[in-house]
Structure 1
Amino acid sequence: MNIESALKEAMATEGAIGAAVVDYESGMSLGSAGGGKDLDLEIASAGNTEVIRAKVRTLEALRINDSIEDILITLDKQYHLIRVLERGGARLFLYLALDRSRANLALARHNLRAIDNALSL
Structure 2
Amino acid sequence: MAMLSAGVVECFRLKYARTNCVTTDCESRSSLSIFWQVPQYVLIGASEVFMYVGQLEFFNSQAPDGLKSFSSALCMTSISLRNYVSSLLVTIVIKFSSRDNIFGWILGNLNNSRLDRFYFLL
* TM-score w.r.t. length of structure 2: 0.30
* TM-score w.r.t. length of structure 1: 0.30
As a proportion of its length, which structure holds more helix? Answer: 2
Larger Rg: 2
As a proportion of its length, which structure holds more strand? Answer: 1
